[in-house]
């Protein structure tokens, strides 16, 4: 068998190239012509490209299933949808898989029906098929974008003044990157599905910045959310991870309810009128390395966590009530570690049946109380309470261990004990205006395990030395 010569190979490659070109044609449409007419003409095949000339197109369009892989390049064109929309009530309906639409502005005709300024007839974009790509789109005066096909990607989509949600996803595998959503009457972005990713989202002026429910494996990072009632709201989600979010001027920064393994980290929550982060009945919630300031109630509020709780490495400043507050009826492992809290009414106030651990938290300038802990066998280790105008530490849990804590320069009492069998070792309480140590549990004998130093105050209470000396 002979080997093809180089000229023959070149000719063969040229034929293959021409065949590929024939299989993926580019068709152009000019303003004043009909996009839908071209879609229905048979001129386009699966995998082709449709280029729109600049200008306005007044119509609604539907991409049929047989045009899979179609690319529409808007190139700055404007699609102004007719009233009542297309088959789905949308300006654009995508029934074909793997469609890409880019560089297009989509809006409904301004008929005055929408209180935000446009028609309420339908979505700008309704996608029922898998593999959709939307790039550099502008969505105005519509009901936003609705994705019901799996594995969609939205990149640099700008949605403004919409009824309902700006971007709504009910599908798996969606990725939303570098998008901006403003002025939705409900959520700027709403999600139901699995393996969902939101990155570099900017959203404002809505009831909720991002709302996700009944989903699994959801990641949100690098968000900028402001002027919403709730920044991020998540309910019944498994494996939720929210990180690097700036949330400003909201009622609640984060509302997390009945989620499994939610993680909130590196958040910057400013000027929340209620709580910076609120978790309710979450299973193994984690809040770490967050910055929360100027909250109207609590910095972090934890209600009925299940199994395990980790609140660590957070910086909380100038909140009206407690920096960290909450409680649970059951026992578990509830850890508060390395948090820095300044200028709050109370630093940390947590109640549990058993198990709280407070380790190396730093609390300064608390107006009422540095730490209050309730729970059998609570452990307070290495915490610093300094320069408070109230009391330092209050213990309400039986058998608590206080080890290596420091209470310095508080105007109230240093340590208040309201429970039995409390053990103390290596604690330092000095320069308090009130008693450095008060045992208010009548008949209780505090257990001295050595190394405690109390000074500059009067020690009072049954079973406690009456002089301010080494314990």
Q: Count Cα atoms within 13 angstroms, Cβ side, for 296.
A: 10
Looking at the DSSP bridge assignments, the partners of residue 470 are 453
- Could you tell me where the DSSP H helices lie in 93-252? none
What is the CA 252 to chain-centroid distance, rounded?
11
The answer to whether 253 and 274 are in contact (CB under 8 A) is no
This prediction's pTM: 0.89
Query: What residues does each domain of the chain span?
Result: 251-348, 365-471
Structure tokens at 216: 């699994």
- Could you tell me where the DSSP H helices lie in 308-359? none
Structure tokens at 369: 């109380």
For residue 109, the model assigns a pLDDT of 61
Which of 278, 352, 264, 279 shows the shortest CA–CA distance to 313? 264
Tell me the average pLDDT across 230-256.
Answer: 98
> Does the pLDDT of residue 110 top 80, yes or no?
no
What does the mean pLDDT of the chain come to?
88
The answer to whether 461 and 440 are in contact (CB under 8 A) is yes
Q: What angle do CA 265, 234, 283 make, to 5 degrees?
A: 70
Q: What are phi and psi of 357, to 5 degrees?
A: -125, 120
The answer to whether 317 and 295 are in contact (CB under 8 A) is no
Kindly give the pairing relationship between strand 133-140 and strand 315-317.
Answer: unpaired
> Does the pLDDT of residue 231 top 90, yes or no?
yes
For residue 391, the model assigns a pLDDT of 95
What pLDDT, in 10s, does the model give residues 397-450?
Answer: 889 999 999 999 999 999 998 888 889 999 999 988 888 888 765 556 678 888
DSSP result, 404-463: S-EEES-SS-SEEE-SSS-EEES-EEES-SS-SEEE-STT---EE-S--EE-SS--BSTT
Pairwise CA distance, residues 139 & 118, whole Å? 11
Pairwise CA distance, residues 235 & 387, whole Å? 39
For residue 449, the model assigns a pLDDT of 87
> Does the pLDDT of residue 394 top 70, yes or no?
yes
Which residues make Cβ contacts (< 8 Å) with residue 211, sequence separation at least 6? 165, 186, 187, 189, 190, 191, 230, 232, 233, 234
What pLDDT, in 10s, does the model give residues 320-374?
Answer: 999 999 999 887 889 999 999 999 999 999 999 887 999 999 999 999 999 999 9
Structure tokens at 434: 């009130």
> Does the pLDDT of residue 194 top 70, yes or no?
yes
Q: What angle do CA 48, 126, 145 make, to 5 degrees?
A: 115
Categorize the per-residue pLDDT at 164 as very low, low, confident or very high, splitting at 50, 70 and 90: confident
> Residue 4 region, left (φ>0) first, then alpha (ψ -120 to 50), else beta?
beta
For residue 20, the model assigns a pLDDT of 45
What pLDDT, in 10s, does the model give residues 56-106?
Answer: 999 999 999 999 999 999 999 999 987 655 555 789 999 999 999 999 999
Which of 366, 445, 369, 371 shows the shortest CA–CA distance to 402? 371
Structure tokens at 362: 């730093």
Structure tokens at 132: 């959709």
């Amino acid at each position: 068998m002979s080997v093809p010569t180089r000229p023959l190979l070149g000719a063969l490659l040229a034929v293959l190239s021409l065949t590929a070109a024939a299989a993926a044609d580019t068709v152009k449409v000019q303003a004043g012509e009909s996009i839908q007419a071209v879609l229905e003409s048979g001129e386009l095949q699966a995998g082709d490209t449709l280029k729109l000339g600049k200008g306005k197109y007044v119509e609604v369009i539907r991409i049929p299933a047989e045009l899979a892989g179609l690319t529409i390049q808007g190139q700055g064109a404007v699609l102004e949808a007719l009233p009542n929309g297309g088959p789905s009530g949308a300006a654009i309906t995508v029934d074909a898989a793997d469609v890409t639409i880019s560089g297009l502005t989509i809006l409904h005709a301004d008929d005055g029906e929408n209180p935000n300024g446009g028609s309420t007839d339908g979505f700008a974009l309704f996608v029922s098929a898998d593999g959709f790509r939307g790039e550099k789109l502008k969505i105005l005066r519509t009901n936003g974008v609705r994705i019901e096909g799996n594995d969609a990607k939205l990149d640099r989509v700008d949605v403004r003044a919409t009824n309902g949600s700006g971007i709504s996803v009910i599908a798996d595998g969606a990725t939303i990157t570098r998008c901006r959503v403003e002025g939705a009457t409900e959520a700027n972005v709403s999600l139901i599905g699995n393996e969902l990713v939101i990155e570099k989202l900017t959203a404002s002026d809505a009831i909720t910045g991002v709302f996700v429910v009944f989903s699994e494996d959801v990641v949100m990072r690098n968000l900028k959310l402001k002027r919403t009632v709730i920044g991020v709201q998540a309910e019944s989600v498994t494996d939720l991870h929210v990180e690097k979010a700036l949330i400003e001027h909201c009622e609640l920064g984060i509302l997390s309810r009945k989620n499994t393994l939610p993680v909130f980290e590196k958040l910057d929550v400013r000027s929340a009128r209620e709580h910076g982060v609120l978790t309710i009945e979450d299973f193994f919630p984690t809040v770490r390395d967050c910055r929360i300031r100027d909250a109207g109630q609590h910095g972090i509020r934890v209600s009925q966590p299940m199994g395990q709780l980790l609140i660590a490495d957070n910086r909380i400043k100038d909140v009206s009530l407690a920096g960290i507050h909450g409680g649970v009826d059951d026992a578990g492992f509830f850890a508060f570690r390395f948090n820095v809290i300044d200028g709050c009414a109370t630093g940390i106030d947590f109640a549990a049946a058993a198990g709280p651990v407070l380790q190396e938290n730093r609390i300064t300038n608390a107006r009422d109380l540095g730490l209050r802990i309730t729970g059998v066998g609570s452990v307070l280790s290495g915490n610093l309470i300094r320069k408070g105008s109230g009391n330092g530490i209050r213990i309400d849990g039986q058998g608590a261990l206080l080890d290596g804590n420091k209470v310095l320069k508080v105007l109230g009492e240093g340590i208040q004990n309201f429970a039995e069998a409390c053990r103390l070792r290596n604690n330092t309480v000095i320069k308090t205006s009130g008693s450095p140590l008060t045992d208010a549990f009548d008949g209780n004998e505090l257990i001295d395990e050595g190394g405690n130093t109390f000074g500059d105050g009067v020690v009072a209470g049954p079973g406690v030395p009456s002089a301010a000396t080494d314990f």
